[in-house]
Structure 1
């Protein structure tokens, strides 16, 4: 039994232009997603970003205050 080509014959397929191109509107819709996370984009909450920013600023101010106090102590 000879193997048959599984591809459809392009001469009898609808929606094809000469040369094998597909005109606009003839493309099939995208695949349906089966994952649970698919859907429209939603903006994420920015709940914890203020905490690390506050910690960085606090550590920087403590660092600068220590060296300013040390410089003031040495200048006396």
Structure 2
């Protein structure tokens, strides 16, 4: 499902005619910072819905972290004893 943008934004790049320090051809003079270009609004891809269930990759990450912690604790106990 895609939702259309209620406000069309058009071109949000800076106007080269009123941009300071812009040389002919679009370059900037040495030591000047080029004008910032506008970013995109909204998400580029839909995010997965994780409200109803926890993803399997999350469970695998938690399990791997628990195994690493258990091995770390076992090594510490082995060094102390």
Question: Normalised by the size of structure 1, how large is the TM-score?
Answer: 0.37
